[in-house]
Amino acid sequence: MDECVVIKGKRILLIISGGIAAYKGPDLVRRLRERGASVRCVLTAGGAKFVSPLALSTVSGDKVYQELFSLIDEREIGHIELSRDADILVVAPASANILAKMVQGQADDIATTALLATDKPVVVAPAMNIRMWEHAATQVNVAALRSRGVTTLGPAEGDMACGEYGMGRMLEPVEIADALEAFFRDRERLSGRRALVTSGPTLEAIDPVRYITNRSSGKQGHAIASALAQLGTETTLVSGPTREPDPTGVRVIHVESARQMLKACEGTLPVDVAVFAAAVSDWRAAMEANGKIKKRPGETTTTLDLVENPDILATISSAGNRRPQLVVGFAAETDDVIDNAARKLETKGCDWIVANDISKAAGTFGGVANTVHLISRDGVENWPRLSKATVGERLAKRIAQRLTEAND
């Protein structure tokens, strides 16, 4: 597919917030227009300290929106119309302040009001001082936005206007334009596609108060579902009990046991792609007691009979004509990660295995980062240590690519 075709004709609402990188706004507008997009600019009060509205209106060929309540503008086009008219809202640069306001749903200027009033895809390109970026508040805010379906581009590492070096630089306009191209291309590839993702642990009851479970947080599975939905896939997430919020734009089915998870998964078929990120309990109690199991006087040891749970991944992989076009399993391993995972490709009958090292030293379980290897019959791709959100985005892009190749 011709790269520029996908962005041609797209209407981009570019929100420029306060930060030195705002001076790159006109360059970004120019590059997007060169590729055939139309760009309408919203400039915050902070942004206007770094770039002039005149420069932006000259390069965009449109007026620049700065006021929330302007009688003339509201008659022409108000904040609701601004987001209704756009195919995508892009915040670049996105300051720490505007990210925090987005999380809280504040709407005290035209930029934040347009962002609150939209149901269109939102992309942010953060730019700020390294310590502001690394501050726990910003990191929590970015994670919250991502779980609500906001796509983040960057920031990058480099020299900063404040004289420091580190993470926090806005991506260059050409990189943002390329990323938006890729975003539209992947959305086009995945539009009309259906995905199933499993996430979290399962919970297997022993009696009304006790159960067997594991340490899976659900962060990775939820991030994958969110990333697929951001790219326009109709996504169903079947999740065991987790503390993760339901991702925006995703249909979520909450389950407890492996058997419930299997039933829910089968109920979503047919889908184009299924990703099994849940840490399903291999075993369940042979007999779930109706009443609380009592400790008998003098009892110092006891045994619990377990029976095997159904293998959800293997079942869906061999679902005949209901088998998804692409089936992706996970392999959580502590030793011989790649060998053990590659074996699962065969035993489970799936197309890809995402292998991850869950040894204590790797800190994967419950943590925000993941080091994974994407294993297929074509070989092994070793991905660097990435946040789970980024692993989700990268996997969603690879899925988009694979589904398109398969149809070519």
**Residues within the interface to ligand CTP (CB under 6 A):** 198, 258, 276, 278, 280, 282, 309, 311-313, 329-332, 344, 348
Q: Is 65 or 330 the residue whose CB approaches ligand CTP more closely? A: 330
Beta carbon of residue 264, minimum distance to ligand CTP (angstroms, whole number) = 12
With CA atoms as reference, report the closest residue to 260 among 277, 229, 290, 281: 281
State yes or no: is 162 an active-site residue. Answer: yes
Beta carbon of residue 265, minimum distance to ligand CTP (angstroms, whole number) = 8
With CA atoms as reference, report the closest residue to 28 among 156, 172, 241, 164: 172
Q: Is 152 or 257 the residue whose CB approaches ligand CTP more closely? A: 257
d(CA 112, CA 101): 7
Q: Is 19 or 218 the residue whose CB approaches ligand CTP more closely? A: 218
With CA atoms as reference, report the closest residue to 83 among 41, 51, 125, 115: 115
Beta carbon of residue 212, minimum distance to ligand CTP (angstroms, whole number) = 13
Closest residue (Cβ) to ligand CTP? 312
Q: Is 14 or 278 the residue whose CB approaches ligand CTP more closely? A: 278
DSSP 8-state class, residue 23: G
Task: Provide CB contacts within 8 A for 27, sequence distance 6+.
Answer: 173
d(CA 261, CA 159): 49
* Positive/negative CA dihedral, 35, 41, 47, 53: positive
* Positive/negative CA dihedral, 84, 86, 89, 91: negative
DSSP result, 204-247: EESSSS-EE-----SHHHHHHHHHHHHTT-EEEEEE-S-SSPPP
Question: Which residue out of 4, 41, 162, 265 is catalytically annotated?
Answer: 162
Q: Is 250 or 355 the residue whose CB approaches ligand CTP more closely? A: 355
Query: Half-sphere exposure (CA, 13 Å, Cβ side) for 249?
Result: 24
Q: CB–CB of 395/275 below 8 Å?
A: yes
Beta carbon of residue 276, minimum distance to ligand CTP (angstroms, whole number) = 4
Beta carbon of residue 171, minimum distance to ligand CTP (angstroms, whole number) = 33
Token reading at 354: 């995402």
Beta carbon of residue 354, minimum distance to ligand CTP (angstroms, whole number) = 8
Q: Is 88 or 265 the residue whose CB approaches ligand CTP more closely? A: 265
Q: Give the residue numbers marked as catalytic.
A: 162
